[in-house]
């Protein structure tokens, strides 16, 4: 086709990680890495998927990037494969440095790996997997976008995503404990309690700049009378940017530390906060890399945890949230774990009025932040926002029906939807479930 590979508006992006990495490349090196990934590490799925795709274009319907760019075919799932893997296979890996720079942008910033397209392809072809394959090549070529690579470095050096130092972690927990004790006397955030029923794990950004979420979790755990603990060592962070950069080896190290921490504490299960990508890593990808078909210890996402608490009557609601709410279904816990009905149960228990957005459940539109895209940082903020106009339209339609609060039980979705909210002037109130649960629940005065 005569169209340029990248739309003009995306060409202004200059990413130091990609540029510097690309400046060190030779075409021989590119060819070697592509062939290593295509025919050495992988092979079965790539080959079958590429051979089976009949170029029907039905996946275009699935992708929020494509829908948001007036159905520009370059943003369709198969269109992205065409601009990356098809070309690499056709040229037997002999592609230029320029080509790889574009491939890096496409795979890292124009696909959230949300897998909606797998549900729209008649053959169930997994384009998200193919974009991950491209990211793996980009990683091996050392040209991953700078911001997300920095978080991967942090994982590698500190075993958490946000460069939280060893002493800062327990310090933050104690700080939140102290804060919470002014509300509930005697409340504890139990550290290193061996044999507790639950290890509660969070993502790096929580202690870094959303410490109130740990506070809320402590209040909820306390009110429900749970036997829980948090590790004082590394292994507390369940997040995983390495999974998104294609650094599988590092992903394995992070997840091993997480699982081993839970096993060291001899807990019965891991309960995790409202994060989607971390759930994907712990429940679906990290365990596989380590050779576990399913996680070696039960993993309970916050949605499911709140569901159990409410269902068992462990938490009582003082007064339901009055503003009409709508619920965003995050890909990793809905399309990735089927928690949509449980999420609705929870929301109905704590809010007076739930107004559905459409499409919803498995078919919901992505937040455009997940899959590591928001972690590629400020250079791509507008790529995300322009790439998700359809989300704004979906939310405007829901707002027109009266929804004021937007509940999103996932960190990436939360941040991505805040951006959509501000840029498009939605003026909705974006909340985690725990924000609302904390606000409406009955709280004991003493722990």
Which DSSP letter does residue 156 get? H
Nearest approach in angstroms of CB 1 to other proteins is 6
Q: For other proteins, which is the closer residue by CB, 284 or 308?
A: 284
Q: Does 205 bind other proteins (CB under 8 A)?
A: no
Cβ pair 395, 264 in contact under 8 A: no
Q: CB under 8 A: which stretch of 75-83, 176-184, 232-240, 413-421 binds other proteins?
A: 75-83
214 closest CA partner among 439, 4, 435? 435
Q: Does 123 bind other proteins (CB under 8 A)?
A: yes
Q: For other proteins, which is the closer residue by CB, 239 or 364?
A: 364
Q: For other proteins, which is the closer residue by CB, 2 or 182?
A: 2
Q: For other proteins, which is the closer residue by CB, 125 or 374?
A: 125
Tokens of 167: 């002493």
Which DSSP letter does residue 429 get? E
Q: How many CB atoms lie within 10 A of CB 338?
A: 11
E strands in 277-318: 299-301
Q: Is cis: bond before 359, omega within 30 of 0?
A: yes
Q: CB under 8 A: which stretch of 112-120, 193-201, 205-213, 430-438 binds other proteins?
A: 112-120
Tokens of 119: 């549900």
Q: For other proteins, which is the closer residue by CB, 62 or 221?
A: 62
Residue of 16, 20, 54, 266 that binds other proteins (CB under 8 A)? 54
Tokens of 435: 């924000």
Q: Does 42 bind other proteins (CB under 8 A)?
A: yes
CA 406 to chain centre: 18
Q: CB under 8 A: which stretch of 20-28, 65-73, 106-114, 240-248 binds other proteins?
A: 65-73
Q: For other proteins, which is the closer residue by CB, 166 or 359?
A: 359
String of contacts with other proteins for each residue 321-360, x by CB under 8 A: -------------xxxxx-x------------------x-
Cβ pair 213, 206 in contact under 8 A: yes
Going across the sheet that includes 405-407, the strands are: 325-327, 405-407, 429-431
Q: For other proteins, which is the closer residue by CB, 44 or 157?
A: 44
Q: For other proteins, which is the closer residue by CB, 17 or 77?
A: 77
**Residue 325: its H or E element:** strand 325-327
String of contacts with other proteins for each residue 357-386, x by CB under 8 A: --x--xx-----------------------
Q: Does 402 bind other proteins (CB under 8 A)?
A: no
Position of tokens 């228990």?
Answer: 349
Q: For other proteins, which is the closer residue by CB, 55 or 446?
A: 55
Position of tokens 């929301």?
Answer: 347
Q: Does 446 bind other proteins (CB under 8 A)?
A: no
Tokens of 253: 């190290």
Which DSSP letter does residue 304 get? H
Residue of 53, 114, 198, 347 that binds other proteins (CB under 8 A)? 53
Q: Does 84 bind other proteins (CB under 8 A)?
A: no
Q: Does 174 bind other proteins (CB under 8 A)?
A: no
Q: For other proteins, which is the closer residue by CB, 342 or 389?
A: 342
Q: CB under 8 A: which stretch of 41-49, 183-191, 235-243, 377-385 binds other proteins?
A: 41-49
Environment class of residue 427 by beta-carbon count within 10 Å: exposed (0-12), middle (13-18) or buried (19+)? exposed
Helix (H, G, I), strand (E, B) or coil at 83: helix
Q: For other proteins, which is the closer residue by CB, 43 or 298?
A: 43
Q: Does 118 bind other proteins (CB under 8 A)?
A: yes
Residue of 41, 98, 178, 249 that binds other proteins (CB under 8 A)? 41
Q: Does 57 bind other proteins (CB under 8 A)?
A: yes
Residues between 255 and 284 that touch other proteins (CB under 8 A): 284
148 closest CA partner among 305, 375, 346, 301? 375
Q: Does 66 bind other proteins (CB under 8 A)?
A: yes
The CA distance from 204 to 180, in Å, is 20
Cβ pair 113, 127 in contact under 8 A: no
Cβ pair 136, 37 in contact under 8 A: yes
Nearest approach in angstroms of CB 95 to other proteins is 17
What is the longest distance spanned by two Cα atoms in the chain?
Answer: 69
Q: Does 298 bind other proteins (CB under 8 A)?
A: no
Nearest approach in angstroms of CB 358 to other proteins is 12
Tokens of 235: 């292994």
Cα end-to-end span (Å), the chain:
67
111 closest CA partner among 430, 344, 331, 358? 331
Q: Give CA angle at 372 (140, 422), nearest 5°.
A: 150
Site of interaction with other proteins (CB under 8 A): 1, 3, 41-45, 47-49, 51-58, 60-62, 66, 71, 73-74, 76, 78-79, 82, 118-120, 122-126, 284, 288, 293-294, 334-338, 340, 359, 362-363
């Amino acid at each position: 086709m005569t169209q340029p590979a990248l739309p003009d508006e995306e060409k202004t992006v200059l990413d130091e990680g990609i540029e510097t990495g690309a400046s060190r490349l030779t075409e021989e090196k590119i060819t070697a890495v592509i062939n290593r990934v295509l025919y050495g590490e992988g092979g079965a799925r790539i080959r079958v998927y590429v051979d089976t795709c009949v170029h029907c274009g039905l996946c275009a319907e699935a992708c929020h990037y494509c829908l948001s760019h007036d159905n520009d075919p370059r943003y369709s799932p198969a269109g992205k494969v065409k601009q990356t893997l098809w070309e690499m296979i056709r040229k037997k890996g002999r592609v230029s440095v320029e080509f790889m720079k574009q491939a890096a942008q496409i795979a890292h910033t124009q696909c959230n790996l949300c897998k909606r397209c797998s549900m729209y392809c008649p053959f169930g072809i997994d384009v998200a997997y193919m974009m991950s394959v491209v990211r793996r090549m980009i990683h091996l070529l050392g040209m991953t976008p700078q911001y997300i690579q920095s978080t991967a470095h942090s994982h590698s050096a500190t075993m958490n995503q946000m460069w939280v130092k060893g002493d800062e972690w327990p310090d933050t927990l104690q700080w939140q404990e102290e804060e919470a004790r002014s509300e509930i006397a005697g409340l504890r955030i139990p550290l290193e309690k061996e044999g507790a029923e639950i290890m509660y794990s969070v993502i790096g950004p929580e202690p870094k700049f959303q410490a109130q979420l740990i506070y809320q979790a402590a209040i909820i755990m306390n009110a429900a009378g749970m036997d829980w603990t948090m590790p004082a060592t590394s292994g507390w962070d369940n997040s995983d940017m390495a999974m998104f950069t294609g650094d599988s080896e590092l992903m394995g190290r992070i997840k091993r530390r997480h699982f081993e921490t839970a096993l060291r504490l001899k807990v019965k299960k891991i309960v995790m906060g409202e994060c989607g990508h971390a759930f994907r890593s712990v429940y679906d990808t990290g365990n596989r890399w380590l050779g576990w078909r399913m996680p070696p210890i039960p993993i309970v996402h916050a949605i499911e945890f709140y569901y159990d608490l409410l269902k068992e009557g462990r938490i009582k609601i003082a007064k339901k949230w009055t503003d009409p709410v709508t619920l965003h279904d995050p890909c990793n816990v809905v399309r990735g774990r089927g928690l949509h009905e449980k999420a609705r149960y929870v929301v109905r228990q704590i809010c007076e009025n739930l107004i559905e957005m459409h499409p919803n459940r498995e078919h919901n539109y992505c937040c455009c932040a997940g899959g590591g895209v928001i972690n590629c940082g400020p250079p791509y903020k507008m790529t995300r926002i322009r790439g998700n106009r359809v989300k704004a339209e979906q939310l405007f339609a829901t707002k027109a029906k009266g929804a004021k609060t937007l509940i999103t039980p996932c960190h990436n979705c939360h941040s991505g939807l805040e951006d959509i909210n501000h840029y498009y002037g939605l003026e909705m109130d974006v909340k985690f479930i725990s924000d609302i649960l904390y606000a409406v629940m009955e709280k004991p005065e003493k722990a």
